[in-house]
Copies of this chain bind each other. A is one copy, B any other.
């Protein structure tokens, strides 16, 4: 089922990276720039994340000796430094998630770079050194993002959706690893209902949502994939849902053969495989398109060229 199978440490059948996007009130502010100060219930809802859920997650994962990756915007690092310290002290990875949860593909490229700089500055000031990993806020990876990430020294990204296992993104002579996600393993489609967030999904019970996450895990386990959740403390960190998360962890452990890892550990593992010549990732040359498709321009019609837009493979 997987064309280019990868091996996991100690013969594990699959890798599980239970990652969390600790957005706190950043995304909500980005999407409501002129009104967020007046949306007090939504403020409180978004701050359940750092104030209530993060200490809970840290405590429970410590009891299970689990070390996970948290994607955090720079502004959140600045606003909630104690929580960042708590995460770091407990062996969790802090990866970068923009500065103010900016949608990079809806702003111009200079602004994208500006916010990236702010995010890096906040990260370095508090966490030290630079982040190894990036997830584009709202998955809004732009055609400029890869270049910026390579220039900033990122080693991996986890925003794209093109595979079930790690692959590589290349631009010019440089490349980084992509640890792909999918909306299926995001918790928003299952739980998010809040007028001020512009999301009104029917709210699943934790049991129904876990059916989805567990079926993805079972398939990853059977076929050797990398399972990456994109969960939000304000949603999946609530009592009933988090209890179901812990039960899913029990289920995974009982099944056995699972490598639980932070994404920086996945990165180390893949880099080592590559250095040893034991595995080569599929590689995509970016950007795929430099501009909108010429086929949509009426002028283009006479030209008779059905211009393909660059090879997609390295």
Interface residues, chain A, with chain B CB atoms under 8 Å away: 1-3, 25, 29, 33-41, 43-45, 47-48, 51-52, 55-56, 59-60, 75, 78-79, 100, 105, 114, 118, 122, 136, 138-143, 145-146, 159-164, 180, 182-184, 186, 189-191, 193-195, 199-208, 211-212, 215-216, 218-220, 222-223, 225, 238-240, 242-244, 282, 284, 286-293, 295-296, 301, 306, 308, 312
Contact = CB atoms under 8 A, between A and B. Distances in A.
Nearest to A313: B51
B218 A189 contact: no
B289 A43 contact: yes
Contact of A189 (B164, B200, B282): B200
B243 A48 contact: no
28 contacts: A1-B242, A33-B292, A33-B296, A37-B143, A37-B288, A37-B292, A38-B142, A38-B143, A39-B105, A40-B105, A40-B142, A40-B159, A41-B136, A41-B140, A43-B289, A47-B312, A48-B161, A51-B312, A78-B306, A139-B195, A164-B238, A184-B240, A189-B193, A216-B239, A220-B239, A222-B239, A223-B239, A225-B239
A38 to B, nearest CB: 4
A40 B208 contact: no
B222 A201 contact: no
A159 B39 CA distance: 11
Given A51-B162, A161-B41, A183-B193, A219 B200 contact: no
B239 A164 contact: yes
A312 B136 CA distance: 27
Contact of A215 (B34, B36, B52, B240): B240
Contacts of A139: 41, 195
A36 B292 contact: yes
Contacts of A79: 308
